Amino acid sequence: DGGITQSPKYLFRKEGQNVTLSCEQNLNHDAMYWYRQDPGQGLRLIYYSQIVNDFQKGDIAEGYSVSREKKESFPLTVTSAQKNPTAFYLCASSEPGQDNYGYTFGSGTRLTVV
Amino acid sequence: QQQVKQSPQSLIVQKGGIPIINCAYENTAFDYFPWYQQFPGKGPALLIAIRPDVSEKKEGRFTISFNKSAKQFSLHIMDSQPGDSATYFCAASNWGGKLIFGQGTELSVKP
């Protein structure tokens, strides 16, 4: 079945550490996105990529970095510069131009600072 | 102008009631309006979507009403069930562009 796989499901980070969240899709979608979700704050866009080897900052990119070396993979690194990283992180993909255009989301990674 | 404003923030209805969630947008270039449903600990899933050339779209118990002149659209859930309890997000975009999401509505359907 086609879909998006996020791993790990739960992640714990110590102060000052960088951590990388994995996002893999087998939908052959060109576009991929990372969102952060906090209670009562909705979905906030961190980074997005519309094609391999290209990505753009979203609304809250500070303290995060991404890469898009392969079409199917869009990993997110939460750096030590992100002062409040505890949140639920969601990855999504889409195929702009498809008749049934819409985002497919992964199941999320819950990151906690310990 | 890129914002999508969603209300209410939370909603409680009895089983069988018809919850209504409203969204408003400013950007007249938006031409795709989806709704997503999210259960706790899961990613959002596309529920139903509408283009501005129609005023209403139904899929099962879920209906989108669209008012282009008012730049508003809403989600109605007919005969709501406890299993519909979830967070609902509206969104808008230019066709093929990135989605702009509303703030979400937490719906609780009481038995």
pLDDT tens digits, A13-23 = 888 899 999 99
Average pLDDT over chain B reads 94
State both tokens at B108.
Answer: 């609780």
Do A14 and A85 form a contact (C-beta atoms < 8 A)? no
Residue B74 has pLDDT above 90, yes or no: yes
Confidence band of A95 (pLDDT split at 50, 70, 90): confident
Is B83 strand, coil or helix? Answer: helix
Cis peptide upstream of residue B52 (ω within 30 degrees of 0): no
The more confidently predicted of residues B9 and A102 is B9
* A5-45 confidence digits (pLDDT tens): 999 999 998 888 999 999 999 999 999 999 999 987 789 99
Whether the predicted pLDDT of B95 surpasses 90? no
Q: Confidence class of residue A99 from pLDDT cuts 50, 70 and 90?
A: low
Report pLDDT for A15: 85
Give the model's pLDDT for residue A86. 94
Best mutation target, A49, A54, A101, A107, to test chain B (most B CBs within 10 A):
A101
Provide the percentage of residues in chain B whose pLDDT is more than 70: 97
Among residues of chain A, what percentage have pLDDT more than 70? 94
Q: Is the pLDDT of residue A71 over 70?
A: yes
Residues from chain B that touch A10, judged by Cβ atoms under 8 A, are none
A-chain CB neighbours of B41 within 8 Å are: 107-108, 110
CA distance A106 to B9: 24
| B46:A107 CB<8 A | no
Q: What are phi and psi of B83, to 5 degrees?
A: -70, -10
Return the pLDDT at B101.
93
Give the pLDDT confidence score for residue A26 in this predicted structure: 95
Report CB contact under 8 Å: B43, A90.
Answer: yes
User: How far off is chain B from A9, nearest CA to CA, in Å?
Assistant: 10
pLDDT reported for residue A96? 73
Q: Any chain B CB within 8 A of the CB of A97?
A: yes
Instruction: List CB contacts of B104: < 8 A, sequence separation 6 or more.
Output: A42, A43, B6, B9, B38, B87, B88, B89
